[in-house]
Structure 1
């Protein structure tokens, strides 16, 4: 058997183990991938008439884990793989995770255990789907929401399978977020990948650019990209490539602006859900604004929840705009990395998103951003770049090691990771973080 066949054998065992449970407690993460993977488990349990209790959390700390010790049946999704404390439990446990893991002696389905890439080619959602085969579109939404774009490896295999099933449409088109839901001026102004210097965060400048190439508002409102004719789309893509060529003084191929996009066919009339990337943002909005159950309900197809989710998304977008505006004015270059102190200004639920949007596409350094959580501890979000990962960056490992020094909890992926530390440990953390970062990139 190859590694993937062994992975599928483990997936069958996980499904069989869950089917034998009578009333499990499901613990999942609050972000998009956590909500998607959790919803897939919920659907599987409901289809098989298994009652369950759902807990949605931001982190697994010892205090929370201790509260689970009396539970006889536990299912974890999008977390748990790094919780060695679970080795102390006598419970029947199944873990679906894709983060870095070691030293855990519980039944776990995790691509990392089979030599598969859990950072780029399989999210918790797609991992769970291979075992439970529920809510296919949601499996890919979770992967996109976990920054696994474009879909590769096991994710791409699933996408091609869903395309053959007739539920997914894979196109080559403009890959800017918001093509189905944002008016053109906002599409360009808030694009972070690709990043448009001079247009970013400047709607007036974007309006001037669009009008200069012959695109104009219709009845006083700017159209969305998805509503443009094929000729208008080609015109816009060509003009954007020319704009970047002039700015960077080197030829930018229009193909740089296009790539695979994933349309969920049954949501064609709901712009916020039609594009898998935009669906993922809606779910992230729910999780980061403490509407986690709403996100689960949206994944399960609750129409009332979808309407409520649109309102949450609108508030989320405003919070992001305000956060990004603040970030550009207050980010500090500390030499080895960029530092953003968002305490008291940016909510801890969106600090990581704001960090990822800052200088996106043009950033050369790691960014470390902080905010205060509900207990006044410091929430840390770090974001790297693909180029830095190729040079050896592993932010998940750095945060795990540094948090062990400052009595915090942290971890994640190579390109993005998070942590929580005591409020009086910030200076020590920053010193140790810089040491670890420099050592890692030096090696």
Structure 2
């Protein structure tokens, strides 16, 4: 066996709609919308520059059925670039781009080989003694363990298993094509190229079992560097697995302490400092998409609660002042606490204390819970789709849509207490 390198990627989710962009305009929003394509273009360029022997895509190339043929044409064009460079591509379909999920089809260049969905399939690269084994998903939900059906390793070859799997539900992902790490390491392959889990992880070495993570973070739950795995092989053994960052937009949670802020301008100055620090420490030349989280037992708590729309507008203005396509603020979340805690409020003997006790007890009132489910709950279900898919940005809306009336009350209670306390003061 010779010395070669290959690129292992997965969970590209081409043209996936990124959340939090409804109604947003400007160059930063436009770049975020095109981020999955731009990240993939950069990855293809990296593969050509590194002169890799081949590329493995371990599932979820697409996010689902194409809206039109442009998604497929874009991918075909990128495969054409690799074809011109003499780089073969081995493509496996996962849950998002399963055979049943993608109704449109386009002819791909000759360098692209797609693993079948009926049973595991093996492709050989005779010139470098490589055998790749894999099975695509036939439908979105594959609940069977596919590993036992994978063939025995090819004698004398560098064997790679390509698999889209939840591996027991890692990282909170659906446990599709479930299997155990011990099954993979016992198979006799030198490398397992996995997909589905969106965090870069080397789960085992010699043999190597690797999740490359997704190529481009799509929302604030996918923070930090994203990219693919560049794998070096020498004399039949993996020498190095390097994570190469390929995303063009990096998501970040930016905690901002405002417990010392005594006015709104001081809160905004703290937000500015937090964004500047995040840009310097995390962006690495990329557009940084941030969720700002205000924290601390703050004297400004009552004025901040319920003012998230205003704070978001101010934070976005601050971000624009840092330079074009440097920082974009997805949301400002007020997670502060009042200087006077809930127990102290509930102990008051005035009307405010009585209201606080009443609201605190409301979550145990079955009649009120039923009414909340029938009235606001049904109304919220009629909200436009684009509002409902972004419900996670609003904890009260999310609780109402999920029918969790106790959570709804517990979410609204701090807001009412803060507003009433502020008005009294």
Q: TM (normalized to structure 1)?
A: 0.26
* TM superposition score normalised by structure 2: 0.27
Select the structure that is richer in helix. Answer: 1
**Larger relative strand fraction:** 2
